[in-house]
Structure 1
Amino acid sequence: MADNVLWIITDDQMRSTLRSMEQTWRRLATKGVRFRNGYSAMPLCGPARASMQTSLYPHNHGCDTNMTHQPFVAQGLDRDTAATRMKGAGYDTGYFGKYMNGIGQDPTYVAPGWDRWVTLLDGMIDDPRVSVDGEVRKVASQRAFDRFAAQRLRRFIRRHEDTPWFAVFSPTAPHGPYTPSAEHADDFDGVEWDPASFNEADMADKPTWLQDLPPQDRRKMQKIYEGKLEELQDVDDQVGRVLDVLRTTGQLRRTWIFFVSDNGYLLGEHRLLSKSQPYEEAAGVPFVVRGPGVAPATSDALVSQVDLMPTTLDIAGLDPDAGRELDGRSLLEPLRTGDWSDWRQRLLVENTHLDWAMLREGSIAYIEHRDAAGEWELYDLDTDPHQLASIGDADVTAWARKTGELVGSRGRALRRLERS
Structure 2
Amino acid sequence: MMNFKILFLGITLLLAGLAQAQQASDEKPNFLFIFSDDQRYDLIGALGHPEVLTPNLDRLVNNGSTFTHAFNMGAWNGAVCVASRAMMISGLSVWDAREQEKNFQQMADEGRFWPQLLEKAGYETYMTGKWHVKADAESIFQNVVHVRPGMPNQTPEGYDRPKSKADTTWQPWDQSFEGFWKGGKHWSEVLAEDARGFLDQAGKSESPFMMYLAFNAPHDPRQAPKEFVDLYPVESIALPPSHMDMYPYKDSIGLSENLRDEALAPFPRTAYSVRKNIQEYYAIISHMDAQIGKILDALEETGKMENTYIIFTADHGLAVGHHGLMGKQNMFDHSVRAPLTILGPGIPKGKKYHQQVYLQDVSATMMDLAGIEKPKTTVFNSLIPYIKENAPSAYPNIYSSYLNLQRMVRTDQYKLIFYPKLNKILLFDLKKDPEELRDRSADPTYQGVKQQLLTLLAMQQQTLNDPLGPISF
> What's the TM-score, normalizing by structure 2?
0.74
In structure 2, how many angstroms separate the alpha carbons of the residues matched to 1:397 and 1:202?
25
Written as runs of structure 1 = structure 2, the 5 A alignment for 1:113-128 is: 113-118=140-145, 119-121=147-149, 123-125=151-153
Distance 1:72 1:242, change over 3 A: farther
Query: 1:330 corresponds to which residue?
Result: 382
Q: Deviations over 1:52-75 (max 9, x none)?
A: 1112221111179xxxxx746467
Query: 1:132 corresponds to which residue?
Result: none
Query: 1:154 corresponds to which residue?
Result: 196
In structure 1, how many angstroms separate the alpha carbons of the residues matched to 2:38 and 2:254?
25
CA contact (8 A) 1:5 1:255 kept: yes
Q: Deviations over 1:8-31 (max 9, x none)?
A: 111111123211243234310111
Query: 1:368 corresponds to which residue?
Result: 418
In structure 2, how many angstroms separate the alpha carbons of the residues matched to 1:111 and 1:211?
35
- SS of residue paired to 1:96: strand
Q: Deviations over 1:27-61 (max 9, x none)?
A: 10111112221212226111111111112221111
In structure 1, how many angstroms separate the alpha carbons of the residues matched to 2:186 and 2:232?
21
Asked if 1:49 corresponds to 2:85, the answer is yes
Query: 1:230 corresponds to which residue?
Result: 283
**Root-mean-square deviation (CA), in Å?**
3.0
Which residue, out of 315, 318, 321, partners 1:265? 318
Written as runs of structure 1 = structure 2, the 5 A alignment for 1:26-175 is: 26-42=58-74, 44-62=80-98, 71=102, 73=104, 76=107, 79-100=111-132, 109-118=136-145, 119-121=147-149, 123-125=151-153, 140-141=182-183, 144-161=186-203, 162-175=206-219
- SS of residue paired to 1:97: strand
Distance 1:55 1:325, change over 3 A: same
Query: Once structures 1 and 2 are overlaid, which stretch shifts more, 176-185 or 231-240?
Result: 176-185
CA contact (8 A) 1:198 1:269 kept: yes
- SS of residue paired to 1:62: helix
Q: Which has the higher strand share?
A: 1
Which residue, out of 312, 319, 334, partners 2:366? 312
Distance 1:63 1:12, change over 3 A: farther
Distance 1:141 1:364, change over 3 A: farther
Q: Deviations over 1:305-334 (max 9, x none)?
A: 22011111111101113xx33111111232
Which residue, out of 225, 228, 234, partners 1:181? 225
In structure 2, how many angstroms separate the alpha carbons of the residues matched to 1:277 and 1:391?
18
Which residue, out of 16, 36, 49, partners 1:10? 36
Query: 1:401 corresponds to which residue?
Result: 455
- SS of residue paired to 1:240: helix
How far did 1:143 drift?
Answer: 5.8
CA contact (8 A) 2:69 2:337 kept: yes
CA contact (8 A) 2:108 2:140 kept: no
- SS of residue paired to 1:178: coil
Q: Which has the higher helix share?
A: 2
- SS of residue paired to 2:324: coil
In structure 1, how many angstroms separate the alpha carbons of the residues matched to 2:463 and 2:115?
24
How far did 1:142 drift?
Answer: 8.8
Query: Once structures 1 and 2 are overlaid, which stretch shifts more, 219-228 or 341-350?
Result: 341-350
In structure 1, how many angstroms separate the alpha carbons of the residues matched to 2:293 and 2:72?
25
Distance 1:177 1:334, change over 3 A: same
Runs of 5+ in structure 2 lacking a partner? 1-26, 46-51, 156-179, 257-266, 466-473
CA contact (8 A) 1:12 1:261 kept: yes
Distance 1:273 1:294, change over 3 A: same
CA contact (8 A) 1:32 1:295 kept: yes
Distance 1:141 1:379, change over 3 A: farther
Q: Which amino acid aligns with 1:380?
A: D
CA contact (8 A) 1:50 1:63 kept: no
CA contact (8 A) 1:96 1:150 kept: no
Distance 1:176 1:167, change over 3 A: same
Query: Once structures 1 and 2 are overlaid, which stretch shifts more, 138-147 or 109-118?
Result: 138-147
- SS of residue paired to 1:273: coil
- SS of residue paired to 2:312: strand
In structure 1, how many angstroms separate the alpha carbons of the residues matched to 2:196 and 2:251?
49
How far did 1:180 drift?
Answer: 0.5
Q: Deviations over 1:142-184 (max 9, x none)?
A: 9622222221112212212322111111111111112202442
What is the aligned residue count?
384
Q: Which amino acid aligns with 1:317?
A: G
CA contact (8 A) 1:82 1:309 kept: yes
